[in-house]
C-alpha cells in the first residue's frame, strides 16, 4: 500500500518517527517521506542520520498552523499523526498549549487532509486516552473522537481516518527504561508504587501496528496491539539489580495501571490473533462485515489493562531487549 507513495509524518523527529522512517524506507520503498515538525535542530540531526536520503523531505511547521499544513500536504497520499504535547506534568502546567496542539492540531489536520485528498490517516493515541484522569489523556481522547468522526466529516471525499493506541513504549523519550538507566549509577531508583504495572511495547511493534492499520482500515477503527505487561519493580530490578528501590508515591495525574480498552468500549471491541479493534459507535458503522472481518466480539465488561493482562514479560526477555538496544537508549 505504501510502495511508491508519498507519506507525511507529523512530529516526525520524535522517537516514533526515527523508527518509522528507516523501517518504512526498507520495507515499502515509498516515493517520499515528509518529516513535518517544528524543531529545526532535530530535523538537521535526522537529515544527517539518514545521510540525506533523497526520499526524505523536511518541512518546518506546526499542526497548530493550518495554512502550513495545507502547503505540506500537497501531493501526499498517507499521513501518520505523531505530533503531540505528551509529557503529563507539562500538560498540567500548560493546559492551553496542550489543547492547542492535541485538539486544535487534530482538527487542523483533519480539515487539511480532507481538502487535499489524502487517502488515509493513522493517528497515534495512548493508553491515557482510555478513562483519562489527566489533561494529556483527556486531550488525546478528544483527538481520538475527532479522528473517528472525521470519516463522517469527510462526506464524499476519499480521506479515511483511524487510530492506533499504545501502552508504555520501551526506549522512547521520557519513558521509564532510559530514565532508570540514566540514574542507576546513583544506587537508588525512584519507584512511584510497588504495585504499579505497565504495558511493554517496542517502537518496532508500534510501527507494525501503524502498517497494519493502513492495510486493514475502513475508517473509524481504534487498533490496540496485544502486548505483555510488567511490574515496574521488576523492570527496575532488571535494569539495576544492585540498586535500592525507593518508593516515592504516585505522581499527580498518574495511574497505578495502564488501560487501553475500557468496559464501556467492550460493546464495540473485537479480538484478533495479535490485536483488538474498537469499532466506531456512530452512524451504525461498527456492525459491518468489512470492519469486523474475522474478529470475535469480546465479552461485555471486558477491560484490557496492564494488571489483568494474560501475557507478562519475563526478566530474560527484557534483558535481551535492553542488550539489543543499549546504544539507542544511551543516545536518548
User: What CATH number does residue 62 fall under?
Assistant: 3.40.50.720
Which pLDDT score, from 0 to 100, does residue 287 have? 81
Across 282-307, average pLDDT: 92
Asked if residue 183 belongs to a domain, the reply is: no
Asked if residue 240 belongs to a domain, the reply is: no
Which pLDDT score, from 0 to 100, does residue 332 have? 57
Nearest residue to 132 (alpha-carbon basis) of 121, 122, 124, 143: 143
Which residues have a catalytic role annotated? 128
Of the listed ranges 138-147, 163-172, 290-299, the least confidently predicted one is 163-172
For the chain, how many structural domains are there in total? 1
For the whole model, what pTM was predicted? Answer: 0.95
Asked if residue 255 belongs to a domain, the reply is: no
Asked if residue 270 belongs to a domain, the reply is: yes
> What percent of the chain shows pLDDT beyond 70?
99
Asked if residue 326 belongs to a domain, the reply is: no
In whole numbers, what is the pLDDT of the chain averaged over residues? 94
Across 258-282, average pLDDT: 96
Asked if residue 52 belongs to a domain, the reply is: yes
Amino acid at each position: 500500500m505504501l510502495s511508491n507513495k508519498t507519506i507525511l509524518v507529523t512530529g516526525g523527529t520524535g522517537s516514533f518517527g526515527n523508527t518509522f522512517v528507516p523501517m518504512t524506507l526498507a520495507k515499502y520503498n515509498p516515493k517520499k517521506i515528509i518529516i513535518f515538525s517544528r524543531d529545526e535542530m532535530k530535523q538537521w540531526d535526522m537529515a544527517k542520520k539518514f545521510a540525506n536520503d533523497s526520499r526524505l523531505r523536511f518541512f518546518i511547521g506546526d499542526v497548530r498552523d493550518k495554512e502550513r499544513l495545507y502547503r505540506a500536504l500537497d501531493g501526499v497520499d498517507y499521513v501518520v499523526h505523531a505530533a503531540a504535547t505528551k509529557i503529563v506534568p507539562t500538560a498540567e502546567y500548560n493546559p492551553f498549549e496542550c489543547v492547542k496542539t492535541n485538539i486544535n492540531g487534530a482538527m487542523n489536520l483533519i480539515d487539511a487532509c480532507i481538502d487535499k485528498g489524502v487517502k488515509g490517516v493513522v493517528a497515534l493515541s495512548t493508553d491515557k486516552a482510555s478513562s483519562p484522569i489527566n489533561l494529556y489523556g483527556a486531550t488525546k481522547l478528544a483527538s481520538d473522537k475527532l479522528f473517528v468522526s472525521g470519516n463522517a466529516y469527510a462526506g464524499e471525499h476519499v480521506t479515511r481516518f483511524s487510530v492506533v493506541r499504545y501502552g508504555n513504549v520501551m526506549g522512547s523519550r521520557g519513558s521509564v527504561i532510559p530514565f532508570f538507566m540514566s540514574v542507576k549509577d546513583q544506587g537508588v531508583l525512584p519507584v512511584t508504587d510497588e504495585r504499579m504495572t505497565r504495558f511493554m511495547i517496542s517502537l518496532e511493534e508500534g510501527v507494525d501496528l501503524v502498517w497494519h492499520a493502513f492495510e486493514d482500515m475502513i475508517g473509524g477503527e481504534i487498533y490496540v496491539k496485544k502486548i505483555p505487561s510488567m511490574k515496574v519493580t521488576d523492570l527496575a530490578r532488571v535494569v539495576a539489580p544492585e540498586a535500592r528501590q525507593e518508593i516515592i508515591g504516585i505522581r499527580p495525574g498518574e495511574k497505578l495501571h495502564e488501560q487501553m480498552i475500557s468496559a464501556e468500549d467492550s460493546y464495540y471491541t473485537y479480538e484478533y490473533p495479535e490485536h483488538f479493534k474498537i469499532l466506531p459507535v456512530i452512524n451504525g458503522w461498527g456492525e459491518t462485515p468489512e470492519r469486523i472481518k474475522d474478529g470475535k466480539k469480546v465479552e461485555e465488561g471486558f477491560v484490557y489493562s496492564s494488571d489483568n493482562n494474560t501475557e507478562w514479560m519475563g526478566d530474560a526477555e527484557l534483558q535481551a531487549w535492553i542488550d539489543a538496544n543499549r546504544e539507542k537508549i544511551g543516545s536518548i
